[in-house]
Amino acid sequence: MSTDYLDRLLEKHHVFGEAHDPNTLVTLCLNCHREITEGLAREGVSMRPEKNLHKLIALELRGSAVFLEFLASSYRKWASVLEDQDEP
């Protein structure tokens, strides 16, 4: 599979929001990136820079929670898929 094809299907996601921490990145498929970004909006994680340190840390914690909840949900789904499979 060519990297050009993968580059169109994958995006870098700023776990805490680019304005808050431009260096903490994960690579996600387009659908997962959209879902997590919507989760950040629902959680009230602003994408605007925050100067107040306490508010910034709170935003980063919320952003991290959204990502980790998404990851936990994915792990549960994969565990269920494995449990439902017959062993060879």
Q: Where exactly are the structural domains of the chain?
A: 3-84
Confidence of residue 80 (pLDDT cuts 50, 70, 90): very high
Residue 81 burial (10 A CB sphere; 0-12, 13-18, 19+): exposed
> Residue 71 and residue 76: Cα distance in Å, rounded?
9
Total-model pTM? 0.80
Is residue 2 pLDDT above 80, yes or no? Answer: no
Helix (H) or strand (E) run with residue 25 in it:
strand 25-29
Percent of the chain with pLDDT over 70: 93
Is residue 86 pLDDT above 90, yes or no? Answer: no
The per-residue pLDDT for 58 is: 95
The per-residue pLDDT for 8 is: 80
Alpha-carbon torsion (38, 34, 45, 57), positive or negative: positive
Q: What is the mean pLDDT of residues 7-31?
A: 90
